[in-house]
Amino acid sequence: MFKIKKNVLPGFGLSLGVTITMLSLIVLIPLFSIFITLSGTTFAEFWQVITDKQTVAAYQVSLSCAAIASVVNVVFGILIAWILTRYKFPFRRVLDGLIELPFALPTAVAGIALTTLYSDQGWLGSFFAKFGIKISYTTTGIIMAMIFIGIPFVVRSIQPVLEKLDPQYEEAAAALGASRSRIFFKVVFPEILPAALAGFGLAFARSIGEYGSVVFIAGNIPYETQITPLIIMNKLEQFNYAAATSIALVMVIFAFILLFGINLLQARINKIARG
């Protein structure tokens, strides 16, 4: 008689089928449509579009600002996650809920609010203007907007790791005479590093594709503050779908390489940590 082997999870076949179907409809098929749109475009035309001087300048603005914003988000994300998990204070849950506000807030509203706040006549912008510091319509403003929309990714990636981290390791290190800074960098930081990398990758990928919250504060000055999503929107408004899709494909490939590289780095770090 044949013995039927039962799966640990009942309905695995049906669940896998539903998962693959939803993944195909939401992710794979839309991405594959990019290649279909470009099927009538020659490589020479594709190369001409993605290497245009204005487009290359937009790549540089988007990528450099996203990188700086993501690094800042990692530093302050670790600090915020540490405060939320290690300290008890009034309105802590309110602060914890506010971290997710950029997820719920429409990006256009965020862009208008940031532009109003940091313009030369704004509450904060007017203060910095006295010292000759201009925020709105500069790369500094772009970085501020990217920090705003990227900080939740870092905090929510690191916070669960800190909550599960056994404090006995820190207590043991303190008993052996280690300073607080040494405890953090030798005990805590190696544990949260993979989560910090994941948060960095998510924040970076979100930042390079962000449009609504960045376009208002950027000023969209060609070769200075023009971002890649704006170039894509301009091509779409001109009904130049092939050019818009070509630029979009470059950004998709870059985001994929970034996330793939971070995943490999995380796996490497985890392997070293396990010995």
pLDDT of residue 59: 92
pLDDT at 7: 57
Residues 200-255: pLDDT tens digits? 988 998 898 888 888 888 888 888 888 999 899 888 888 888 899 999 888 888 88
Q: What is the dihedral of CA 78, 83, 85, 91, to 10 degrees?
A: -130
pTM given for the model: 0.84
Domain 39-274 has CATH 1.10.3720.10: yes
Q: Are 76 and 151 in contact (CB under 8 A)?
A: yes
User: What sign has the CA pseudo-torsion 33, 36, 37, 42?
Assistant: positive
Record the tokens describing residue 168, joined without a space.
Answer: 């006995």
Predicted local distance difference test score (pLDDT) of residue 2 = 47
14 — pLDDT class (breaks 50, 70, 90): confident
Give the Å distances, CA to CA, from 194 to 79, 82, 108, 241, 264: 16, 16, 32, 38, 10
Q: What is the pLDDT of residues 39-79, one digit of tens each?
A: 778 888 889 999 999 999 999 999 999 999 999 999 999 99
* CB 255, CB 205: distance < 8 Å: yes
Instruction: Give Dmax over CA atoms of the chain in angstroms.
Output: 87
Instruction: Identify the CA nearest to 197 among candidates 258, 129, 141, 122.
Output: 258
Lowest mean pLDDT among 31-35, 68-72, 87-91, 184-188: 31-35
